[in-house]
Amino acid sequence: MKNKITKAIFPVAGLGTRFLPATKSIPKEIMSLVDRPLIQYAIDEARAAGIKEFIFVTSRGKAALEDYFDHAPQLEAELKKKGKDDLLEEIKNTNMDSGAIAYIRQHKPLGLGHAVWCARRLIGNEPFAVILPDDIIAAEKPCLQQMVEAFAENPGNMVAAMEVPPERASAYGILDVKEDHGSLVSIKGMVEKPKTGEEPSNLAVIGRYLLTPQILKNLNLKQTGAGGEIQLTDAIAHEITENRPVYGYRFRGQRYDCGSKSGYLQATVSFALSRPELRDDLLGFLREVVNVEQAAQ
Ligand code: UTP
């Protein structure tokens, strides 16, 4: 098995029901933070981590996503004619080299584990990354790059981990910690969506994974778990029972759950505030809103 990670799976076949009716016709991943779709942040993070092959697991209604990564000759010609070089440069970042991107269909939304399994033939016998584009992570060093560097020192399955308050734990997969080494944590179990009070730690799994090809073999068993879905965390937890290493990685950065309305709005405000051309206007507006809200209380 080679040790360098050059392939990433982007599971984008979910129904995105929390954003209905918008997601009736727009894939969730095309929704934008300021002016860039969620998927562009995920691609940029993958590129920074050395990913060369991008595998999308899609479903019906995701055509806009495929178009997004295509060349747009007419638009590019028009921008060139008008001398809009900065926009041309932005557009170039969205283009993918021929052969660098692949689309696989998940015919039924049977769960994240199943979505990853759908890409098994494109992965073969090498470690790979999984990125959930609705988890957006603002970080000085991109999260996946931090993980790839940790993986080079400690090869083994690795999940991004984030501390959550106990009352939020039931929304996540939670790690059962064996040894805590600071940023790297070795784990002895994982529980998907534990009942409140039964969470084994405060460390939640979020949407970045580095996985060994054995995970795909575990997913071959197609066992269903929480919510009747084929869970990726179950396939990873199985490795622990076989005494193969599984790590949690406490990344440095701020994660936004853009799969939820509240997280998406918070990310929008935060990313807008980090743009110098928008910051002053937006700050002024936010102050006004807060004043009005406080006065009304
Ligand atoms: P979510 O749990 O956020 O589900 O999936 P969802 O369908 O996207 O959104 P809601 O809950 O209905 O609003 C987490 C990730 O796993 C992918 C999703 O596309 C998302 O990136 N996924 C989930 C699949 O690709 N296939 C599945 O069967 C389930």
C-alpha 268: how far from chain center:
16
* Contacts with 271 (C-beta within 8 Å, 6 or more apart), sequence order: 33, 34, 138
Closest-CA residue, ligand 1 atom 18, reads 14
Atom of ligand 1 nearest to the CA of 11: 25
Could you tell me which of 179, 132, 181, 140 has the C-alpha nearest to residue 160?
132
* Contacts with 80 (C-beta within 8 Å, 6 or more apart), sequence order: 88
Of 96-105, 126-135, 287-296, which gets the smallest average pLDDT?
Answer: 96-105
Whether residue 71 is predicted with pLDDT greater than 70 in this model: the reply is yes
The residue to mutate among 15, 206, 224, having the most atoms of ligand 1 within 8 angstroms of its beta carbon, is 15
* Cα 281 to averaged position of ligand 1 atoms, centre (Å): 35
* Cα 36 to averaged position of ligand 1 atoms, centre (Å): 20
Whether residue 289 is predicted with pLDDT greater than 60 in this model: the reply is yes
Using the 8-state DSSP alphabet, how is residue 188 labeled? E
Q: What's the one-letter identity of residue 6?
A: T
Q: Are strands 173-180 and 184-192 parallel, antiparallel or unpaired?
A: antiparallel
All CATH 3.90.550.10 domain ranges in the chain, comma separated = 7-259
Q: What percent of the chain has pLDDT over 90?
A: 70
Of 146-150, 232-236, 265-269, which gets the smallest average pLDDT?
Answer: 232-236
Q: How far is CA 175 from each of CA 21, 65, 87, 179, 224, rounded to the nearest angstrom?
A: 34, 33, 43, 11, 19
* Cα 112 to averaged position of ligand 1 atoms, centre (Å): 7
The residue to mutate among 9, 10, 12, 118, having the most atoms of ligand 1 within 8 angstroms of its beta carbon, is 12
Q: Which CATH architecture has domain 7-259?
A: Alpha-Beta Complex (3.90)
Q: Which pLDDT score is estimated for 115?
A: 96
Q: Which residues line ligand 1 (CB under 6 A)?
A: 11-18, 57, 106, 109-112, 114-115, 132, 134, 259
The residue to mutate among 31, 110, 132, having the most atoms of ligand 1 within 8 angstroms of its beta carbon, is 132
Q: What percent of the chain has pLDDT over 70?
A: 99
User: How far is residue 5's CA from residue 156's CA, in Å, rounded to a whole number?
Assistant: 12
Whether residue 227 is predicted with pLDDT greater than 80 in this model: the reply is no
Closest-CA residue, ligand 1 atom 4, reads 14
The residue to mutate among 104, 112, 262, having the most atoms of ligand 1 within 8 angstroms of its beta carbon, is 112
Q: What does pTM read for this prediction? A: 0.93
Whether residue 280 is predicted with pLDDT greater than 60 in this model: the reply is yes
User: Of 89-93, 161-165, 231-235, where does the model show the most confidence?
Assistant: 161-165
Q: Which pLDDT score is estimated for 1?
A: 57
Q: Are strands 203-211 and 157-163 parallel, antiparallel or unpaired?
A: antiparallel
Q: Which pLDDT score is estimated for 94?
A: 83
Q: How many CA atoms lie within 13 A of 43 on its CB side?
A: 22
Q: Is 192 exposed, middle or buried, given 0-12, 13-18 or 19+ CB atoms closer than 10 A?
A: middle
